[in-house]
A and B are shown apart, each in its own frame.
Chain A
Amino acid sequence: MASNPDSLVPEPLAQLPWKLILLVLAIFGLGLAVLYSAAGGQLQPWALNHAIRFMLFFAVAIMLSHFREEHWKFFAFPLYGATLLSLLGVEIMGQVGGGSQRWLDLGFMRIQPSEIMKPVLILALAKFYDTLPSGELRRFVAIWPALLIIALPAALVVIQPDLGTTLVLVAAGVTVMFLAGLPVRLFVGGAAAMAAAIPLAFQFLLQPYQQNRVLTFLSPENDPLGTGYHITQSKIAIGSGGLFGKGFLNGTQSHLAYLPEGHTDFVFATMAEEFGLLGGLLLILGFALLIRWGIRVGRRAESTFAKLTAAGLSTTIFFYFAINLMMVMGLAPVVGIPLPLVSYGGSAMLTVLICIGILMSIDRENRMRRR
């Protein structure tokens, strides 16, 4: 592994991964346009804030890209521990304050520890498998610590209750375990066990409102004015857009407020109504390129830690994207997962830009090594 003592010194601008930055800017730009339209052709209240946040968080991402791999490796467990503690913190504060609370108020900003946990969990898992010798990979010791690393935050998040985030955490964690080289039959068996456990989980683990969401997803027409309303209105927005859409600022579903959450979770429907299938495919292509880039960064990486981290973070971004789109198109229950970089809201954007920042830092290392 090449080591560069000057790693914290900023590289010249030419060293930045411009292709990736342009891609991220394109996705963000589309989101900005949609938010501008969703507000009825105005910067307020969403588009301007969105832009300011993006610039702030993107600067953070660029900053993160200058950290070295060993820094990530070194901080992986301490970060994990700290984030787990703050998850526990919001849980206790929520219990005391009454009702569910998901964020910590630091005075200058509110932090959702569950969002921070997404990249941190990946780092911790990657660190664990990095330290595990290859020979131990088929032994039980390769499994239970990883499961524990996933289960602790997942348990804290599911009781918040935040089903969407739990799903992303578990799915991304399990993906890292898969990539780490655990036997395939474990995953096949696990999937079978999951399928068997779903009815039980539905019955005993889910809150009534979550059960409703699942039932509504299975048959939205049964409840056209309740939770099914979201899905139906979203499909109306996407379906009525057609090939080229109704045109910028001409969406009726969003402008006449038929589409609920048209600027947050259902922003894709707002976009599809105005830009049609073409706009939707472009956005899907954008995310596909972003994720492919992340996977590639992992394949080019040298260390197990870097490989797993890159693939895990890409997968986290992928789950955001895939679950949101499935939800918006009526293929998944409404679980409340935003579309990163496009949906209005800071937490998901911060998480995804942290992921991208870490990915860029690994990418940087890869390129420096090749040079």
Chain B
Amino acid sequence: MKRRRPSLSINDNMRRTMYSRRAMLLGGAQLGVAGLLGARMAWISIAENEQWQLLSESNRVQLSLIPPRRGWIVDRAGQPIAMNRSDFRVDLIPDRLHDREPVLAALTELLDLPSEEIERINEELDTVPGAQPVQVSAGLEWEQFAAVNVRLPDLPGVAPVQGFARYYPAGAAVGHLVGYVGAPTREQYLEEGEDPLLLFPGFKVGKDGLEKTFEDRLRGEPGARRAEVTARGQLVRELDTRPDRPGETLQLTVDAGLQQYVGRRLGDESGAAIVMNCRTGDVLAMASMPCFDPNSFSDGISHPEYNMLSEDERVPLRNKSLLGMYPPGSTFKPVAALAALEAGVDPEEIVYCNGGYRLGNRRFGCLGVHGPVNLHRAIARSCNTYFYTMGRRIGIQQIAEVSRKLGLGAEYPIPVANQNYGTVPDDEWVVRRHNREWTDADTLNTSIGQGYLLTTPLQLTVMSARIASGRDVSPRFVQDRAAQPSALTGIAEENLQLVRAGMDEVVNGAGTAPRARLPLDDVRLAGKTGTAQVVNLSAGRGGRGVPWRFRDHGLFVSFAPADDPLYACAVVVEHGMSGGRAASPVARDAITYLYDPDRANEELERLEAGWGGDIFARMARQEAEYRRDQGLPAREGLPVVPARAESDDDDDEQAP
């Protein structure tokens, strides 16, 4: 065949050679690929061997954390304030959960899970990494826990865990003091270098109060368990276990019995009460009421309960002992008296009280017409005129200096996240803060504990303790440092004696707090009442006729025994109208408890019967009523409350 392009024509010989060449090429290429595969394999198994071996080990070996048991918080005698209760919990391990729906359905049936919980579980299962357990339910009854265990072979991915939950036996009475624990936040997790312990289900960290401050000591060290598991999570064998190291026990200076007593004794009032050993500064009780139940927080508080707490006008979420700031009112008068004595005022000097004091054309009123008063009588009868006179004479600098020596306006070295340090005003302060000159009127107001003066209940306690002991005491919560406070510098003991005698008279003589007299034969309580204005009402003082939140605060500072002080106590009852009526009985009963607990408890039981039960019962009823008012379904464990009928005016009728 003749072709135009002979190069295209191929004969059998050429075809044979071409095949040979191409077959060689093909064989070579295939050999090359085989060599490449060998090289690739060598790369993976030799060069990258370490990396893959590590991954193989992490596949094979499951490292599970054993979370440490949190250290207990105990009182000065070793009584538990915060402890661990064994807790039955059920978790889901997403990695091993191959078929979610039937497992969740079975759990819903076994554990009575509400639909919002199932939603949460589904959400968490979608987001958490596969080996990270997701909590299904905690705080289970033994029967439920056992039922899950029995069905376990049919429920792959379900992990029943017997763990621990934080438990505060005294409930709300210790809430503000010890704080509470809760699940760590994402920020905390990142802060602690992504410690996997923080992701462990049911693991809690201190969120507030001492639980938070002493987190490092309370937490302990986690243990670990190494086990060989299959891809489906079946245990092949245990390899080794390192036990956990539980957290330290934290011993407080607090007396658990007194703490609980004081918390209960405040009743439904909004306020704070603190008892301190005035020689050492040991805080024996520090209650702020109303309070949340730290047990609710530690279990994860429900939305309605939290809303109820945050909407309450008595601010249960605020620790009033440290954060509440109140004008000390007349409880400041012992300080003013001491300042006068230190300035050289003769205690027997007579000031004539005709019911007020005139400064220029302005009149500063007294609560009574006391006639001739000396220092002792001025304290006992709380005569403003006397302190106006003396205050103006000695000047604000002297008052401020003595106030600071007694611990007002100071921040204490105490293990809390937050404390307010109040205000002790002087001329420098008013220029800095309000950009005006100090006036004599300011001095007069400060002399009787009003004006710019602000204190916290803890400061009032320290003030009382320093007056009572003459020592430079500072509050101590934890038995970790030696407490031997030195004597107050620049305060004469005989001056302190005069002030103490005046405070003795307040309670046990012709004074303003006869209700604070102790029902004991051999111990006397000395104190000073105070009533602090909340708002300047044109219609006189904020007494009964005005809404609760405008009423005056009632305050009381005290120490006992009057002749050889050992305890100091300060009580603030917000909007309690008068220190003598609202606050001083609380201090009386708290001190009584220290000497005769049975008698004090009798009084408390009588009171609680009138209030409608103890704290737990009243809080449960409050929550039940709140849920009813919000139209929420009743919660199991709460009392049944009648449908809303009675009016909401119980504020006006309440008088403890």
Q: List residues of chain A with CB under 8 Å of any chain B CB.
A: 134-135, 137-138, 175, 178-181, 225, 232-233, 235-243, 252-253, 256-258, 272, 276-277, 280-281, 284, 287-288, 291-292, 295, 298-299, 304, 307-308, 311, 315, 318, 321-322, 325-326, 329, 331
The number of chain B residues touching the other chain, given as a range, is: 35 or more
Is B91 in the interface zone, CB < 8 Å from A? no
Known: A134-B11, A179-B22. 12 other contacts (CB 8 A): A178-B22, A181-B18, A225-B130, A238-B44, A239-B44, A239-B45, A239-B51, A239-B55, A277-B45, A281-B42, A292-B31, A299-B20
A235–B51 alpha-carbon span in the complex (Å) = 10
Given A138, A236, A237, A322, which contacts B33 in the complex, CB threshold below 8 Å? A322
How many whole Å from A282's CB to the nearest CB in chain B?
A: 10
Segment at the A interface, from B224-232, B279-287, B426-434: B224-232
- Residues from chain B with a CB closer than 8 A to the CB of A232 are 55
Q: Indicate if the CB atoms of B15 and A178 lie closer than 8 Å.
A: no
What are 15 of the A-B contact pairs (CB < 8 Å)?
A134-B14, A179-B23, A235-B44, A242-B45, A257-B230, A257-B231, A277-B45, A281-B41, A284-B37, A292-B27, A299-B24, A315-B30, A321-B34, A322-B33, A329-B41
**B2-24, CB < 8 A from A:** 8-12, 14-15, 18-20, 22-24
Q: Indicate if the CB atoms of B12 and A134 lie closer than 8 Å.
A: yes
- Residues from chain A with a CB closer than 8 A to the CB of B20 are 299
- Residues from chain A with a CB closer than 8 A to the CB of B57 are 240
How many whole Å from B486's CB to the nearest CB in chain A?
A: 66
Q: Indicate if the CB atoms of A236 and B55 lie closer than 8 Å.
A: yes
Q: Indicate if the CB atoms of B15 and A295 lie closer than 8 Å.
A: no
Given B37, B42, B52, B231, which contacts A240 in the complex, CB threshold below 8 Å? B52
Q: Indicate if the CB atoms of A240 and B22 lie closer than 8 Å.
A: no
- Residues from chain A with a CB closer than 8 A to the CB of B509 are none
When A and B form their complex, what is the total count of cross-chain residue pairs whose Cβ atoms lie within 8 Å? 143
A233–B10 alpha-carbon span in the complex (Å) = 52
Q: Knowing A236-B52, A257-B232 touch, does A243 contact B45 (C-beta < 8 A)?
A: yes
Q: Indicate if the CB atoms of A179 and B34 lie closer than 8 Å.
A: no
Which A residue sits closest to B52, measured CB to CB?
Answer: A239
Q: Indicate if the CB atoms of A181 and B15 lie closer than 8 Å.
A: yes
- Residues from chain B with a CB closer than 8 A to the CB of A240 are 45, 49, 52-53, 55-57
Q: List residues of chain B with CB under 8 Å of any chain A CB.
A: 1, 8-12, 14-15, 18-20, 22-24, 26-27, 30-31, 33-34, 37-38, 40-42, 44-46, 48-49, 51-53, 55-57, 59-60, 130, 228-232, 236
Which A residue sits closest to B45, measured CB to CB?
Answer: A277
Q: Indicate if the CB atoms of B37 and A329 lie closer than 8 Å.
A: yes
How many whole Å from B51's CB to the nearest CB in chain A?
A: 7
A281–B10 alpha-carbon span in the complex (Å) = 42
A288–B30 alpha-carbon span in the complex (Å) = 8
Q: Indicate if the CB atoms of B60 and A277 lie closer than 8 Å.
A: no
How many whole Å from B20's CB to the nearest CB in chain A?
A: 6
Given A233, A238, A318, A321, which contacts B41 in the complex, CB threshold below 8 Å? A238
A325–B30 alpha-carbon span in the complex (Å) = 13
A288–B24 alpha-carbon span in the complex (Å) = 14
A258–B231 alpha-carbon span in the complex (Å) = 5
Which B residue sits closest to A273, measured CB to CB?
Answer: B56
- Residues from chain A with a CB closer than 8 A to the CB of B44 are 235, 238-239, 329
Given B22, B56, B229, B236, which contacts A237 in the complex, CB threshold below 8 Å? B56
Given B15, B34, B56, B228, which contacts A253 in the complex, CB threshold below 8 Å? B56
A299–B46 alpha-carbon span in the complex (Å) = 37
Of the candidates A138, A235, A256, A295, the one having the most CB atoms from chain B within 10 angstroms of its own CB is A256
Q: Indicate if the CB atoms of A181 and B41 lie closer than 8 Å.
A: no
A181–B22 alpha-carbon span in the complex (Å) = 8
Q: Indicate if the CB atoms of B23 and A138 lie closer than 8 Å.
A: no
Closest 6 pairs (CB-CB, A-B): A239-B52, A240-B56, A257-B231, A295-B27, A138-B8, A256-B230
How many whole Å from A243's CB to the nearest CB in chain B?
A: 6
- Residues from chain A with a CB closer than 8 A to the CB of B60 are 252, 256, 258
Which B residue sits closest to A295, measured CB to CB?
Answer: B27
Q: Knowing A181-B15, A181-B18 touch, does A311 contact B41 (C-beta < 8 A)?
A: no
A232–B48 alpha-carbon span in the complex (Å) = 13
A258–B37 alpha-carbon span in the complex (Å) = 23
Q: Indicate if the CB atoms of B52 and A238 lie closer than 8 Å.
A: yes
Q: Indicate if the CB atoms of A135 and B9 lie closer than 8 Å.
A: yes
A236–B333 alpha-carbon span in the complex (Å) = 80
Given A134, A272, A287, A307, which contacts B34 in the complex, CB threshold below 8 Å? A287
- Residues from chain A with a CB closer than 8 A to the CB of B19 are 179-181, 299, 304, 307-308
